[in-house]
Structure 1
Amino acid sequence: KAVASKQVKLAPCVNKISIPFAVTDPKLWYPIGLGEQTLYAFKAKLIVGQKKVDERSKRTGLRTVELRQKPDQFGTSFEFLVNGIPVFGRGANWIPADIFPTRITKEKYKTLLTSLRDANMNMLRVWGGGIYEDDYYYDLADEMGILVWQDFMFACSMYPGDKPFLDNVRQEAIDNVKRLRDHPSIVIWVGNNEIETAWQHWGGWKDKNPSHVWDDYQKIFLRLLPQVLEEYDPSRPYWQSSPSSNFQADSEFQGIGDTHYWQVWHASKPFSEYENQFPRFMSEYGFQSFPEFETIKTYTTAEDRMSIETPVMLAHQRHPRGNQLVREYMLREYDQPKDFESFLYVSQVLQAEGIKLGAEHLRRLMPRNMGSLYWQANDCWQVASWSAMDYFGRWKALMFYTKRFYAPMAVSIQSDGSMLNFFVVSDSPEMKKAELNVDLIDLGGKSIMAKTLDVSVEPLKGKSYLSVPLAELLNGSDERSVVVLAELKIDGSTISRNQYYFKPFKEIAFSRPQIATAVTPTPGGFKLKLTSDRVARAVYLSGISSGAFKENYFDLFPGRPIEVEFRDEANLTAEEFRRLLKVRSLVDAFNN
């Protein structure tokens, strides 16, 4: 319906016309999990005499956004508030979905973003080393309630500050800000990726370059881009670089601003170092793995798959120490896998377990830390990389783990050396009543100790609700032959499950489990029920390329069956599904 009109006299050239109006009792746009993603269509018509000469429409959502930076006992907060509600950023870094952007279809955008939403992500960082994405990407984010951290496209390099270049930058920024500013999903503009920290820390850039190089940096990121935003989009916060402490401290200081942490991976620090980081918002951290075997088959022959060091495999590993680092970390936790395909499988579990440790720690810190964006969500080609999905959108182990550790309410287990602490993290703005069940079981499934606790889960917080001395918990049990299982239930339904092993996999006395499967046809696919006689680590379902499992890479415990849905895209019969299905657990990846 028409809500406002105005009689105007048009002058030659560009006319800027404002027509104030109010939306009565508007329905606000919220990120996923906090409310509906209500979108309004606004239309404007230009009528000369009685004739409509032009018309434009714009879809947007109504919401407020604030980047709250408030001094506290830890430094200065860094948290996004949407419609006044603090939002913990659960997500990852997005890179271009193809090395040839013109090949990215709407269907691919939708498939990838749907996957990320289904993995419980509510925020994506569009990385400054990529591209300004197509309008459709942001349309989908609006519809799905995924928040977007939008970098300007500058990364890992110093840029000139001469007038022709600055004029070019200004026009590029204006074009993209005007194009994207009406998307409610975008909650921040960020000047660049890692240039401030590169100047301070990368191989003496600061000492080797003349002072005007830094002056040029300030021209772009402290003056030009803020000026563009002040004119064309003053509604959103601007952050000049990622990571940054906004010049209040060193760019790598974790008490202010956002943090990139890469000592795990680049410096070979153990995964446990994640738990020694206390940022305000972690916007990058990551670890590599290899893609699915089906993906690797698209660019290799059988001869290429003799090892990860063949020329073709090395051509699809772009980090100079990538294979070395994956193997180094792997052998800390596992024995050498028995063959090529097993190495791929174990690399994915290794990556997933490492990022799980970091992500759960970051969520337990809430509200001190208010974001976990790991590197990276997706891939631009078939390659060994840090991604959670490979180039074809196939979920690696990390995506299935992500779905669990990014659940809006989740249980997390942490050891401080003397106590085992059971945390519940909640992104809900409301208190929730829940039941926490803790079991110590042996590898055959026998219960050694069990506790049940009613908990009132506090809103927007990570908190320990139960702490048990390790000596009391074990009570003489061998650490190599037991596991702790925690389940969080609401109204009798399990909403989160987690487990804690006291030793690395290679030190635990696992034996090969007998995993039984029962297949039931369902509309659009199959339901698979799995049971095991012993604890089975990282159970991996494969063999069927024409569809997708909704769960995978899960631990299976005796007496606790797991049901998994499979979406079928090939109209398989139940017999065909059973014949193709492969079920393995982690012990199958090694020679025993």
Structure 2
Amino acid sequence: MIKRDLKDNFQISISGQDTWYDMSVPGSAMDTFCKEGILPDPYYGMNEYKWTEFWKNDFDIRSTFSVSAEEIASEEILLTFYGIDTVADVFLNGKKLGHTENMHRTWVYQVKELVKEGENLLELHIASPVKFIETYKPEKGREIHFTNTGTTSGSQYIRKAHSMFGWDWGPKLPDAGLFRGVELCCFDTARLGESLIRQKHVDGAVTLHIGSEIEKADGQVVKAGNTAMQSNGNSAAQPESGDSAQPGVSGLQLFYELRDPSGALIYTGADSDIKVTNPALWWPNGYGKQPLYTLTIQLKAGETVLDTREYPIGLRTVTVSREDDQWGQEFAIMVNGVKIFARGADYIPDDCFYPRITREILERDVNACVFANFNCLRVWGGGYYPSDEFYALCDEYGILLWEDLMYACNIYDVTPDFAENIAIEAKDNILRFRNHACLGLICGNNELECAWTDWKDAQGHAPSLKRDYLYQFEFLLADVVKENAPDAFYWPSSPSSGGSFDNPCDENRGDCHYWDVWHGQKPFSEYMKHYFRFCSEFGFQSLPSIKTVETFTGEKDRNLFSRVMESHQKNPAANGKILYYLSETFRYPKDLESLIFLSQILQGYAMKEATEHWRRNRGRCMGSIYWQFNDNWPVASWSSMDYYGRYKALHYMAKGFCDNVAGSIEKKETHIGFWISNETLDPVTVKAKIAVKTLDFQVIEEQEVSKEVPALSAECLFEKEYKELIAGRDDSVFFVVEYEYEQNGQKVSKKEFETFVPVKYLELKDPAFKVTENADGSVSIQTDTFVPYCMLEGISADTIWNENVVAFTDKEAVTLVPVENQKISRDGVRIYDIYHTYH
């Protein structure tokens, strides 16, 4: 077999023009024309709108590639496109290969009869996505008038990442091109197709059942290995052992090799049922390790190896428990029989330039998840299906994935052609990620079910379109999942109580999205009134770092209500909401940098309050996934990590409130309780020193408590009413808990604080920080007065410290250390604190 990427000699042109520009693959029109300076960087200033007319163009892409005599002699030659964006006609040597209308699919063409030895001409004509949706004509009576906030009308008619047409955090940049690679594959006799690797966990051992497909050179597909297992739709139920017969193709055999995580060989042979005794189980981040076995499958003809595929395998069971209980019906991700509390955020595409979403960016993302003690990401349905590298990284680092199929906040015209198109799309992608240990569940869509029941703008559409929703997500796509990933848990929509328009926002069943805080402008205390079974979306906006703001503004634009700043804020009235919430907690800031800092603290505090509340109610609530993890351009948004990978205050704060063992303070006016959430598999003994202090650190009252907190639980260690103690001085005292416990033989020390009045009413003093920048890049800070929030930022390098957003509750110095392999800002740091936002 000969397999190679085609990535040289590609050029792109606007259709009808004779000027061609060199294009990289992966590459796109926007990437090329921006590099060439034909149009300006869409991320700067108001440049996004200078691209609007550009998207009405069609584009032509061409490339020449050489085929050798050895390749031409192969029995079969396949040309595979892993990402054509989007509506395209594909030609080889002047002959049409096919037509594409889905960027989410893999397109494979048999080209044995069309290629020639020597130079070959590959051409694509890509139609304007804007013109495509403008000219789409649904059947009379089935028109769709719904348009989601910030998006282009009609974007649901094309199978292209919805967020390319804008969102309430992203620009309208519907790119075109080849956002993934192009491959030429030449082979004789047969090659390996996809394999389904199922696991049976019994009596402390795991048996792998391997069913494979073999693609013959004549185009026939033969099933081989263990193909007798029936779909059961739930990984909690185990597959039955099946037939391990070799394929019914004369002279062909499959051989298997399994190596343990250390690389030691534990099986080699032709049996497609492989038993692993004493298995090392794969766990999500925080619950254990992520050992990966390596399964190698070889297709042989006699002694000749025709093809080889390799799969990293994490041995685990995953499902979602929906047991009835005293509150209704739980929704808990269950790994290896353990119900975990899911902690993480919602992932969107990392860029509007999809070719820029490289392995380096994806590794940055997954490292950021581990830093913040996430065990889960939700891949949101309005973007794209990530690359294979993304799923491999999540396997390696223990990040469970809630994987949406790519549908969000829309209504769809499900014609027979559309149904066929999306069924193949789902299969293409499920085959890519179904064997990954990180796959937690597959969800049909984002917010479509609740749109039909609760959204005013979604009402008034044809009943047949509502019927189509049920067909699309509760039958067609559910069946594709069941057939191709029989052990994956399928959930029809998010939020949902289980489907069929049965009160999808029911707080006592299924998952919920909660937006009364932020969109509804309700106070943070409103979170305490809700006990969702699993909150898969909730959020609060903030501004990005001043360094990020400087990348898209001139000095004259650096005002919250300038045209440029408002253009980089896609949620209507959001800047006003930031100021509204700020007025509830902090004093009016003196400048933009202070406003940025305060907005980030507000965001972090909001997500902290909600997550801690739900963790205190573990068992009733089993998941807290905040909106959102990342950005696709430099913007004010709900993200905790901005477009450039700079951690906002929220991301640093999440490291604390998502930690496996985390303390939290529950305050009800002057009544305070201190809780420990223990999300480990072992009990922990926590010792805590609890105090009320003046702002200059004089202790008014102090006491100590100690308690063993069981595994996978939340316990209240202390509670007290402080009304009398703080009477007449509530603006000059604060509450603090210093606590410690042992983890992996190491003592861990932490603290939590709370104030009795909003911070704006505290009589804060100038902290007059004593700052020492050490040779190793660490920064030590000391002060003689209470500082509720202090944050460091490198002036040049985007240094990530082991902790940030710290409180000073005593005179001890706090030292912030750069995490491993971080660039150090040698020209100094900025220090932000509350007092200096208004002084």
TM-score normalized by the length of structure 1? 0.94
Q: Structure 2 CA distance, aligned partners of 1:585 and 1:9?
A: 63
1:518 aligns to 2:725 (yes or no): no
Q: Deviations over 1:186-216 (max 9, x none)?
A: 110000000011111111534x112111110
Amino acid at match of 2:836: D
Contact 1:410 1:497 in 2 (8 A): no
Amino acid at match of 2:833: S
1:203 aligns to 2:410 (yes or no): no
Distance 1:411 1:10, change over 3 A: closer
Q: Structure 2 CA distance, aligned partners of 1:481 and 1:64?
A: 53
Q: Structure 1 CA distance, aligned partners of 2:278 and 2:821?
A: 44
TM-aligned CA deviation for residue 570 of structure 1? 9.4
Q: Structure 2 CA distance, aligned partners of 1:412 and 1:145?
A: 25
Amino acid at match of 1:588: H
Distance 1:127 1:499, change over 3 A: same
Q: Structure 1 CA distance, aligned partners of 2:329 and 2:351?
A: 38
Match of 2:468 in 1: 216
Q: Deviations over 1:290-338 (max 9, x none)?
A: 0000111111111111x11111111101111111111111111122100
Residue 642 of structure 2, aligned match among 390, 395, 401? 390
Amino acid at match of 2:224: I
Count residues in correspondence: 578
SS of residue in 1 equivalent to 2:224? coil
Q: Deviations over 1:154-204 (max 9, x none)?
A: 010111222110000100000001111011101100000000111111115
The range that moved more, 415-424 or 265-274, is 415-424
Q: Structure 2 CA distance, aligned partners of 1:98 and 1:436?
A: 44
Q: Structure 1 CA distance, aligned partners of 2:440 and 2:593?
A: 42
Match of 2:763 in 1: 509
Match of 1:400 in 2: 652
Q: Structure 2 CA distance, aligned partners of 1:376 and 1:408?
A: 21
TM-aligned CA deviation for residue 560 of structure 1? 3.2
SS of residue in 2 equivalent to 1:303? helix
Amino acid at match of 2:293: Y
TM-aligned CA deviation for residue 4 of structure 1? 11
Q: Which runs of 5+ in 2 are unaligned?
A: 1-207, 226-271
Larger CA Rg, structure 1 vs 2: 2
Match of 2:256 in 1: none
Q: Structure 1 CA distance, aligned partners of 2:516 and 2:674?
A: 27
Amino acid at match of 1:508: L
Q: Which runs of 5+ in 1 are unaligned?
A: none
SS of residue in 1 equivalent to 2:518? helix
Residue 78 of structure 1, aligned match among 314, 322, 331? 331
Q: Deviations over 1:103-150 (max 9, x none)?
A: 111111111210121111110000001110011111110000011000
Match of 2:130 in 1: none
Q: Structure 2 CA distance, aligned partners of 1:319 and 1:10?
A: 49
1:35 aligns to 2:242 (yes or no): no
TM-aligned CA deviation for residue 548 of structure 1? 2.8
Distance 1:333 1:21, change over 3 A: same
Runs of 4+ off more than 6 Å: 3-6, 8-12, 568-572
Match of 1:374 in 2: 626
Match of 2:53 in 1: none
TM-aligned CA deviation for residue 511 of structure 1? 1.5
Contact 1:191 1:221 in 2 (8 A): yes
Match of 1:89 in 2: 342
TM-aligned CA deviation for residue 418 of structure 1? 5.8
Match of 1:527 in 2: 778
Residue 224 of structure 2, aligned match among 12, 17, 21? 17
TM-aligned CA deviation for residue 363 of structure 1? 1.1
Amino acid at match of 1:437: K
TM-aligned CA deviation for residue 9 of structure 1? 12
Residue 285 of structure 1, aligned match among 538, 542, 560? 538
| Structure with higher strand content | 2
Q: Structure 1 CA distance, aligned partners of 2:210 and 2:450?
A: 50
TM-aligned CA deviation for residue 25 of structure 1? 2.3
Match of 1:427 in 2: 679
TM-score normalized by the length of structure 2? 0.67
The range that moved more, 428-437 or 558-567, is 558-567
Residue 489 of structure 1, aligned match among 740, 751, 756? 740
Q: Structure 2 CA distance, aligned partners of 1:431 and 1:487?
A: 19
Q: Deviations over 1:432-476 (max 9, x none)?
A: 11202211111001111111111101221222121112236x254
Give identity over the alignment, percent: 34
Q: Structure 1 CA distance, aligned partners of 2:463 and 2:209?
A: 54
Contact 1:421 1:466 in 2 (8 A): yes
Contact 2:800 2:822 in 1 (8 A): no
Match of 2:832 in 1: 584
Query: What does 1:340-351 correspond to in 2, within 5 Å?
Result: 340-351=592-603
Match of 2:713 in 1: 461
TM-aligned CA deviation for residue 271 of structure 1? 1.1
Contact 1:96 1:131 in 2 (8 A): yes
TM-aligned CA deviation for residue 419 of structure 1? 2.7
Q: Structure 1 CA distance, aligned partners of 2:550 and 2:398?
A: 35
Residue 584 of structure 2, aligned match among 332, 335, 353? 332
Residue 414 of structure 1, aligned match among 643, 655, 666? 666
Contact 1:410 1:495 in 2 (8 A): no
Residue 313 of structure 2, aligned match among 46, 56, 60? 60
Match of 1:564 in 2: 816
RMSD (Å) for aligned C-alpha atoms: 2.2
Amino acid at match of 1:224: L
Residue 729 of structure 2, aligned match among 478, 488, 498? 478
Contact 2:736 2:809 in 1 (8 A): no
Residue 574 of structure 2, aligned match among 305, 309, 322? 322
Contact 2:446 2:495 in 1 (8 A): yes
Residue 250 of structure 1, aligned match among 491, 495, 503? 503
SS of residue in 1 equivalent to 2:609? helix
Amino acid at match of 1:590: Y
Distance 1:51 1:462, change over 3 A: same
Contact 1:434 1:489 in 2 (8 A): yes
Q: Structure 2 CA distance, aligned partners of 1:553 and 1:120?
A: 16
Distance 1:438 1:5, change over 3 A: closer
SS of residue in 1 equivalent to 2:817? strand
Distance 1:581 1:247, change over 3 A: closer
Q: Deviations over 1:221-274 (max 9, x none)?
A: 010111111111111111000001114841111000001000111111111111
Amino acid at match of 2:491: W
Distance 1:40 1:475, change over 3 A: same
Match of 2:796 in 1: 545
Larger RCO: Structure 1 or Structure 2 (Cα < 8 Å, ≥ 6 residues apart)? 1
Contact 2:548 2:644 in 1 (8 A): yes
Query: What does 1:259-274 correspond to in 2, within 5 Å?
Result: 259-274=512-527
Contact 1:99 1:380 in 2 (8 A): yes
Q: Structure 1 CA distance, aligned partners of 2:215 and 2:472?
A: 36
SS of residue in 2 equivalent to 1:263? coil
TM-aligned CA deviation for residue 355 of structure 1? 1.4
Contact 1:404 1:496 in 2 (8 A): no
Q: Structure 1 CA distance, aligned partners of 2:445 and 2:210?
A: 41
Contact 1:487 1:494 in 2 (8 A): no
Q: Structure 2 CA distance, aligned partners of 1:116 and 1:285?
A: 18
1:239 aligns to 2:491 (yes or no): yes
Distance 1:287 1:240, change over 3 A: same
Distance 1:80 1:146, change over 3 A: same
Amino acid at match of 1:17: A
| Structure with higher helix content | 1
Amino acid at match of 2:756: F
Amino acid at match of 1:147: L
Distance 1:175 1:507, change over 3 A: same
SS of residue in 1 equivalent to 2:607? helix
